[in-house]
A and B are shown apart, each in its own frame.
Chain A
């Protein structure tokens, strides 16, 4: 029997780049196939070829042995290939059924009217057949991310897809939702559908897929059965060398209390409470990690602390000083650095060159401004020093921010913020989109800051990152910390439970959070400017005991 999908010698070239180089890929009908690789390995390009978005430079796409030539995704859909993008292609204000039938609406009255009843029925029938639990009349904006994903799958099935391509399907899911998704995979393959999913997560490929194909630099490194391969072997295939998965966080005494958050509530843009009655504190020389599925209030928390969003209630104290009524500018001047998650929206002005970007946030302060006048020479020197220290490429202070790659943009932002000589660094997703080498470098810099006695609030959805770097790890769910745990001893399963909103029974783990309050009664009277020197080193934090233990990716 012919494989359901056979990519035969696919090569895809873009001007100056070979994204896929003679890639062969065979996928059996009714199987789950993982396409594994690092960022930029060519996974998405290959799937875009299969989905008709790109025409291959060389090679042939075969479905059930039949050669195909897709000029557009439309052709691929007609041939039974459905794509579920990482960012869902759903129209938020429309209902589930409207989204499912979009573009293929059943009609009555000679085409003058969409046949609602027929459309709903088709959606209900499909979701029953595959055991999906979705309300056809719900508005997409109101349903959970997991449900939105199922709506996307329904869309593909409604169009008669036999082969489903999913791009990073677990990126936005909680561990529990991921389990549900694996269940959906099973249901689909039992009924003869074929699934190819793109991933860069080893564990996911191993547990969900029947076969795994690893891509590296656009080349197929090999296809293996998930049952016959180990994690380490896969990692080596992906990276091409042995991987050290343990960033080292040496134990360290913490100092003064830098940030105190009490009863903080923050609303998001829609006026929905995103952070609910949150309390915690952060000390000099400490990294507090915040883990959680994206969209559980982490962004709003970081914005409220750094002065980009007003809190609806509660209190933020920075070095003992209440921050209520303090503007973003005030907080920058007091030594708060912020690495924003949306670097192209906030972190950099894309049309400015690096010289201009180097003073973003310091444009009123010496040495860059005197008497309201800007000193472009000083800012150019500053840009050049950041570029040199943080290895930003190309090393050109006159280059526009938008001409840099994502990783280099990020390095420049991180460099600019770190070089402010801050007391507090709020870093959200600091290594998102950054290649492995630069990620290691940025991790080292974060640890250096910690060693210098800076306080770091590290928000990341990369579990290994927050777990590996943090002294304490807070897990956030729907605006609350479901737990503050010792990253060294907590298991991935426990974090998963916390991310899903359940609390752990083990009181000793929660103790990490409560412990701070006990040891610092005197600090509240502190004006906040007496830094470091007179701090009693007696405070001991659970997290600092054994941070050296690494955690697997």
Chain B
């Protein structure tokens, strides 16, 4: 089972089987489970949870395809989650700036913050040839410190107060679908997509035909910032609050995003499938909790993490771009 897509297909198959069983024997455990899996609340919370994972995953594809491994996605999600809530609260729900409602301003501000942080990452990695893994880690840790720090400065605590308004799950779902299709187009149909791929596979080939490898890589990393920004803002604004205690409300979604695009084999559609799968697992877990199945929530929470490890062990190395992680210097 070397192809991660087969895993996704397999999961869809299992879900279909569960659905059929559930319809046939509504009184059984299968019926119960099917009821949960196919309930609207599970679907909506899946959409909500999938947004940050899939969007950051799409961003990760752009960065890594260009040859820069961005393990700082988690940090980008954290910073955009906080800034989106902060900006929306500054504008105040109900009022507008140049006709733009507060939540939308929050969204844009979150994207801007994430893009800015990714620009720092890009400069550090491309200009100053930093080790990408360590720099990515630094981006995560900086955001992990900075977001609660700012929250305390502005709101007096690591958690922000609730905005009292939130973005509906339909917006999140629409954004995810739009971003997935757009990413697919950009990667597979445009000249930029080809350049991105060349920059990650054989930067010298791109350089010798006169395309700047640095520019392409900057674009790749900044796009990861933009997309993660959308994801982080969607995460926080769908709740209307930023939670900054512990691992913050992002809780490793940026890392799951990495696994998601590895599963999806750098294909946006694959990332969408894998991301939805993980989000679905999490949503399911919440529902099971609510229905009183006596499993401690912490234990159920580990399912996606264990799944990541298991699948990583089975899938092993994916088609990682040949030059990913390498610095590139034009000669002279």
Contact = CB atoms under 8 A, between A and B. Distances in A.
The answer to whether A and B touch directly, with their CB atoms under 8 angstroms apart, is yes
Interface of A: 53-55, 72-74, 77, 83, 85, 89-94, 98-99, 102-105, 107, 111-114, 155, 159
Given A112-B190, A113-B190, A93 B201 contact: yes
B209 A104 contact: yes
A89 B331 contact: no
B27 interface: no
- Which of B201, B208, B210, B322 has the largest number of chain A CB atoms within 10 A? B208
Contact of B331 (A53, A55, A92): A53
B198 interface: yes
Interface in B192-216: 194-195, 197-198, 201-202, 204-206, 208-211
A295 to B, nearest CB: 17
Contacts of A73: 208, 210
B191 A114 contact: yes
Contact of A105 (B191, B197, B210): B191
Given A102-B209, A103-B209, A103-B210, A92 B202 contact: yes
A461 to B, nearest CB: 23
B290 interface: no
A228 B131 CA distance: 56
A89 B322 contact: no
A90 B194 contact: no
B217 to A, nearest CB: 15
B332 A54 contact: yes
9 contacts: A53-B331, A73-B210, A77-B210, A89-B208, A89-B209, A90-B202, A92-B202, A103-B195, A113-B189
Contact of B194 (A53, A85, A94, A155): A94
Contacts of A74: 210
User: Chain A interface mostly helix, strand, loop or mixed?
Assistant: loop
A91 B198 contact: yes
B322 A92 contact: yes
A94 B198 contact: yes
Contacts of B211: 102-103
B206 A94 contact: no
A89 B190 contact: no
B190 A102 contact: no
A83 B206 CA distance: 14
B119 to A, nearest CB: 25
Contacts of B206: 91, 102-103
B205 A53 contact: no
Nearest to A87: B204
Given A98-B194, A102-B194, A113-B190, A91 B202 contact: yes
A72 B210 contact: yes
A54 B332 CA distance: 7
Nearest to A84: B208
A135 B319 CA distance: 24
Given A53-B332, A114-B189, A91 B201 contact: yes
A165 B134 CA distance: 41
Contacts of A55: 332
Contacts of A99: 205
Contact of A91 (B190, B205, B210): B205
Contacts of A111: 190-191
B264 to A, nearest CB: 17
Contacts of A104: 209
Contacts of B204: 89
Nearest to A107: B191
Contacts of B197: 91, 93-94
Contacts of A85: 208
Given A77-B210, A112-B190, A114-B191, A102 B332 contact: no
B88 to A, nearest CB: 33
Nearest to A74: B210
B195 to A, nearest CB: 7
A114 B208 contact: no
Nearest to A88: B205
Contacts of B189: 112-114
A89 B201 CA distance: 11
A114 B194 contact: yes
Interface string B303-332: 000000000000000010010000000011
Contacts of B208: 73, 83, 85, 89
A94 B201 contact: yes
A90 B195 CA distance: 12
Contacts of A114: 189-191, 194
Contacts of A54: 332
A54 B331 CA distance: 9
Nearest to B208: A89
Nearest to B205: A89
A387 to B, nearest CB: 32
A446 B331 CA distance: 38
Nearest to B186: A112
Contacts of A103: 195, 206, 209-211
Q: Which 5 pairs, one residue from A and one from B, show the smallest C-beta to C-beta distance?
A: A103-B209, A74-B210, A89-B205, A105-B191, A103-B211
Contacts of B322: 92
Contacts of A107: 191
Given A89-B208, A113-B190, A155-B209, A102 B201 contact: no
A53 B331 CA distance: 7
Contacts of A98: 194
Contacts of B198: 91, 94, 102
Contacts of B210: 72-74, 77, 103
Contacts of A53: 331-332
Nearest to A115: B191
Contacts of A112: 185, 189-190
A83 B210 CA distance: 12
A55 B332 CA distance: 9
Contacts of B209: 77, 89, 102-104, 155, 159
